[in-house]
């Protein structure tokens, strides 16, 4: 990466992390740690508006930049809307692109919540940080054009490599 921290537009528009960094000239390489169908945790099922025992894809990835691990992502995708999604190779396919091109779910809107968090052990290990190191954390719910919640994600970003900047107008 170039000197200084990258400033993806993740606080302005609903795009994937890869799209935001690519537009700044950075290349992210995904590493898939896990991709399998699981029952949704109860809080996630409630957020997505599905029954507690509903199956979902649980996709765990680390995105690497030239300076090392940049982001640790855990995505939950409704399996009822995306049959067979557990068979997609997410080392070469983008989640948003897959939802839109393969499953014809037009991603229309989302909600992101940002905070600063100390890296818990699995996050620290994935990002090559010491446990407790400050990371940028965001939770996201993604909605299709028909209003259905499609995906919930948790993202931890190495705060050494990126910062959040918003362009504001009055």
102 — pLDDT class (breaks 50, 70, 90): very high
Q: Rounded CA gap, 170 and 164, in Å?
A: 19
Q: Is the pLDDT of residue 64 over 70?
A: yes
Between 167 and 76, residue with greater pLDDT: 76
Which residues, in sequence order, are bridge partners of residue 158? 135
Q: Rounded CA gap, 47 and 136, in Å?
A: 21
The predicted structure's pLDDT at residue 114:
85
Q: Rounded CA gap, 62 and 123, in Å?
A: 10
Instruction: Give the pTM.
Output: 0.85
The pLDDT tens digits for 75-94 are 999 999 999 999 999 999 88
Give the DSSP per-residue string, 84-109.
TGGGS-TTTS-HHHIIIIIS---EEE
The pLDDT tens digits for 116-128 are 999 999 999 999 9
Q: Is the pLDDT of residue 14 over 90?
A: no
As assigned by CATH, the class of the 17-158 domain is alpha beta
In this structure, are residues 60 and 31 in contact, taking their beta carbons and an 8 Å threshold? Answer: no
The stretch 65-84 carries a mean pLDDT of 93
């Amino acid at each position: 990466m170039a000197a200084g921290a990258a400033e993806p537009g993740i606080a302005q528009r609903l795009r994937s992390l890869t799209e935001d960094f690519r537009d700044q000239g950075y290349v992210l390489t995904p590493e898939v740690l896990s991709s399998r169908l699981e029952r949704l945790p109860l809080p996630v099922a409630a957020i997505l508006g599905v029954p507690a025992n509903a199956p979902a894809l649980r996709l765990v990835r680390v995105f690497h930049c030239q300076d090392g691990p940049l982001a640790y992502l855990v995505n939950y995708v409704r399996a009822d809307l995306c049959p067979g999604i557990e068979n997609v190779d997410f080392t070469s396919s983008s989640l948003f692109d897959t939802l839109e091109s393969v499953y014809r779910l037009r991603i229309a809107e989302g909600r992101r919540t940002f905070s600063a968090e100390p890296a818990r052990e699995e996050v620290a290990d994935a990002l090559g940080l010491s446990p407790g190191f400050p990371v940028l954390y965001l939770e996201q719910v993604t909605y299709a054009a028909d209003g259905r919640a499609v995906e919930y994600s948790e993202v931890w970003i190495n705060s050494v490599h990126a910062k959040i900047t918003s362009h504001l107008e009055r």
